[in-house]
A = this chain, B = another copy of it.
Amino acid sequence: MRPLKIVEAVPNISEGRRENVVQEIAAAFGSVPGVVLLDVSSDASHNRTVLTAVGEPDALVDAALALYASALDHIDLRTHRGEHPRLGAVDVFPFVPIENVDMQECVALARRVGHEVATRLNIPVFLYEEAALDPARTDLAAIRKGEFEGLAAKLRDPAWKPDFGPKAPHPSAGATVIGARVPLIAFNVNLGTDRLDVAKAIAKSVRHSSGGLRFVKALGIDLAEKKQVQVSMNLTDYRKTPIFRAFELVRLEAERYGVPVVGSEVVGLVPAAALFDSADHFLRLIDFEREQVLEDRVRKALESRA
């Protein structure tokens, strides 16, 4: 059998209140053969839904176009209200490499989908993160600044000419941001104290925005029912800022306050490589190769057989 190329697609749509609309858009997205819808999470106050699906690149192109068409039918940004910033009906659409596929293939996939969406639906498309053609568009927040309401003015600025599509917003669907990125890891470290100020100080010291590690976002959070506090992190590129380094830095900073680390947690999914890297670090492994993982080796042998 040919090895499956597995890509994850995580579109964020600007609808989190009308359940029937979310279901209809999710059905359009998930019913393409070869695409498996893993999760649909709506947030009513954000009025936004995150869909997660996996599949091979070609199947995901079809699924993406079906999602955009359905969102165009059902979402009108002119009447959309919600707490989360947004630029379009399908607000952000990242592709994430999972297996037998590299970042470059996901970048190509994002650009292909961007071109199709612009051409078929007349929606302006910005390419972001690893798929960005313009380094100023790497950061999603910069692209989304001004939101839907400021979009017409933004698109008149030559610096914000879209990567594909018209230089004016789609009347109801706004614009969309498509790209490729590594999987995010939500990783929290719990501290054996009820002092929220300690968690906040540590979060500040480890996060990128205030001088910490390059690919860490962090907040101090109260876990009142446990009488603990937590450094809650998003690791936005585990290949460059690995889990173990974030963990060890939090532990070291906590020592300065005489506070112990009582545990940590991965929220949701984590790539196998991120855990292998942690084992490799703490065991001080020499020259460890991914192909030494028994199941990977076996799968590769079975796939190359036919």
Residues of B within 8 A of A255 (CB): none
**Interface check A142, CB cutoff 8 A:** no
Residues of B within 8 A of A295 (CB): 6, 98-99, 271-272
* Given known A244-B282, A278-B282, contact A287–B265 (CB-CB < 8 A): yes
**Interface check A283, CB cutoff 8 A:** yes
Residue of B nearest to A263 (CB): B286
Binds B, one of A106-114, A125-133, A160-168, A296-304: A296-304
B264 touches A286 (CB 8 A): yes
A292 touches B264 (CB 8 A): no
A302 touches B6 (CB 8 A): yes
B266 touches A288 (CB 8 A): yes
For the complex, what is the distance from the CA of A183 to the CA of B265, rounded to whole Å?
A: 28
**Interface check A262, CB cutoff 8 A:** yes
A4 touches B292 (CB 8 A): no
* Given known A4-B302, A6-B302, contact A294–B279 (CB-CB < 8 A): no
Q: Select the residue from A98, A264, A295 with max chain B CB neighbours within 10 A.
A: A295
B268 touches A293 (CB 8 A): no
Shortest beta-carbon distance from A177 to chain B in Å: 23
B278 touches A297 (CB 8 A): no
Residues of B within 8 A of A38 (CB): 297-298, 301
Residue of B nearest to A305 (CB): B36
Residue of B nearest to A289 (CB): B266
Residues of B within 8 A of A297 (CB): 38, 269
Interface residues of A in 186-220 (CB under 8 A from B): 190
For the complex, what is the distance from the CA of A275 to the CA of B277, rounded to whole Å?
A: 9
Task: Choose one: B98, B261, B262, B279; the contact of A275 (CB below 8 Å).
Answer: B279
**Interface check A243, CB cutoff 8 A:** yes
Residues of B within 8 A of A8 (CB): 294, 298
B283 touches A243 (CB 8 A): yes
Residues of B within 8 A of A279 (CB): 243-244, 275-276, 278-279, 282
Interface residues of A (CB under 8 A from B): 4, 6, 8, 36, 38, 54, 98-99, 183, 190, 243-244, 247, 261-266, 268-272, 275-276, 278-288, 292-298, 301-302, 305
17 residue pairs bridging A and B, Cβ less than 8 Å apart: A6-B295, A6-B302, A38-B297, A38-B301, A54-B298, A263-B285, A263-B286, A264-B284, A265-B288, A266-B292, A271-B294, A275-B293, A276-B279, A278-B279, A278-B283, A279-B282, A282-B282
**Other A-B pairs beyond A269-B297, A271-B293, A278-B279, 20, CB < 8 Å:** A6-B295, A6-B298, A6-B302, A38-B301, A54-B298, A98-B298, A263-B286, A265-B285, A266-B288, A269-B293, A270-B292, A270-B293, A271-B295, A272-B276, A272-B293, A272-B295, A275-B275, A275-B293, A278-B278, A278-B282
